[in-house]
Structure 1
């Protein structure tokens, strides 16, 4: 009797899943398959749309619908929370179509997809503050929206991108604040001061920057640096919450 390792079973499951997905999509002309995919997209049936679009993409990679199929897949993956697949499709599209007329939209979707990687359903559901979680997807999203604004300032997605950058900046500032607070609670006074000052320099117009002054003040007091503590107190008075 053969025995499979857990990793082997997982790999087998993935292979079966991929092959069965292709099998359930009828072998019909591309125009029919594309029309069916559009109906699924419009009705919000993301998984069905993805199955049909993936079939189109694999069967007719250089067909008349090729570019639009990839664009539709980017959107469907995002809506279905298949974020890694969405990012892979975006990378492929940008590599193959570096001057495409919808490049601003693709950059916008990459920003949204990176933002979605920072989202956690359970945290949203129970309103849990997780400012200390890894902000790398946030940094990537910020860079995407920034690139969109620099390259396509007249894009219809520019205004929303700017608003999202403001929210992302606050998210990054909150992460730095959580880090500074962590150092303070561990009595790493110098590290707490350095992170607080870095936050104030990088994100000066955020609430987190103002809150970091309290951490900085406590750290200076613990180090008995009276002059620095007094200057920080003055900054707090000038910047009330």
Structure 2
């Protein structure tokens, strides 16, 4: 009980400290012009003090919402949120900017940032200490990242960010395919063959030309054979032999004995 009370008190003190710091900044900047706000915020951003930069940008937007720095401040704060590891705030700010300024000359950069935020947002402290296979994690953020990059390329094919977006999409596509394959393997081990088939089919149909396809075909052929669907198994085996004639899974399927 005592330790729980101490933790609650500690959190409260941290909260009060944060409020105190923000109030202090508000007082110190009470007479700042829009130019001074933007200059100071930009300096903090470039120095890597993202927390202070965010506070300055937020105050700039609050005090001078229609000033000459309004659009640029909203653009810069997206990047600041991203670097400060506040992905939700970054995405909200990006969506808000796109809605307000769909024809802004740098709106392609905002789409790129949206993709980048989701691309990196599941890379937490534990991942840096204990690297994990990204394909084995929940993939909603990878999909969000993929769609953001795809929208960037569709809307702005000549953008300077499009080349990198395509490279990241290729990586994400492989990751998503491997994720489906990982689940298919899991279902095969649990003898949930219908579920394994569904996952393997997703790889073959939705992620063609990815490295995961050969193993997905092997899983399909094995699962169909175990379920007694020999015609389907033979058809998949033919596709496997035609496209991946040296794949070791071909022998595994042929030698598989169904009890």
TM norm. shorter chain > 0.5: yes
Is 1:73 the equivalent of 2:77? Answer: yes
Cα offset for 1:165? 0.8
Cα offset for 1:15? 7.9
Q: Distance in 1 between matches of 2:174 and 2:145?
A: 13
Q: Which structure has the larger Rg over C-alpha atoms? A: 2
8 A Cα contact 2:200 2:219, kept in partner:
yes
Q: Distance in 2 between matches of 1:140 and 1:111?
A: 7
C-alpha distance 103-79 of structure 1, shift in aligned 2 (>3 A):
same
8 A Cα contact 1:142 1:168, kept in partner:
yes
8 A Cα contact 1:111 1:144, kept in partner:
yes
Runs of 4+ with deviation above 3 angstroms: 9-20, 224-238
Structure 1 unpaired stretches of 5+:
none
| Aligned match for 1:115, one of 114, 119, 128 | 119
Q: Quick check: 180-189 or 77-86, which moved more?
A: 180-189
What value does the CA root-mean-square deviation take over the aligned residues? 2.6
Is 1:106 the equivalent of 2:107? Answer: no
Match of 2:210 in 1: 206
Secondary structure of the residue aligned to 1:207 is coil
Q: Distance in 1 between matches of 2:63 and 2:126?
A: 38
Cα offset for 1:11? 9.3
Structure 2 unpaired stretches of 5+:
248-259
TM-score (norm 1): 0.87
Where in structure 2 are the equivalents of 1:54-69 lying within 5 Å? 54-69=58-73
Cα offset for 1:232? 3.5
Match of 2:25 in 1: 24
Deviations 1:39-90 (A, max 9, x none): 1122222222112112212222222211111111001111111111111111
Q: Distance in 2 between matches of 1:96 and 1:33?
A: 22
Where in structure 2 are the equivalents of 1:1-241 lying within 5 Å? 17=18, 20-25=21-26, 26-27=28-29, 28-237=32-241, 238-239=243-244, 240=246
8 A Cα contact 1:70 1:89, kept in partner:
yes
Cα offset for 1:234? 3.9
Q: Distance in 2 between matches of 1:89 and 1:181?
A: 39
Secondary structure of the residue aligned to 1:131 is helix
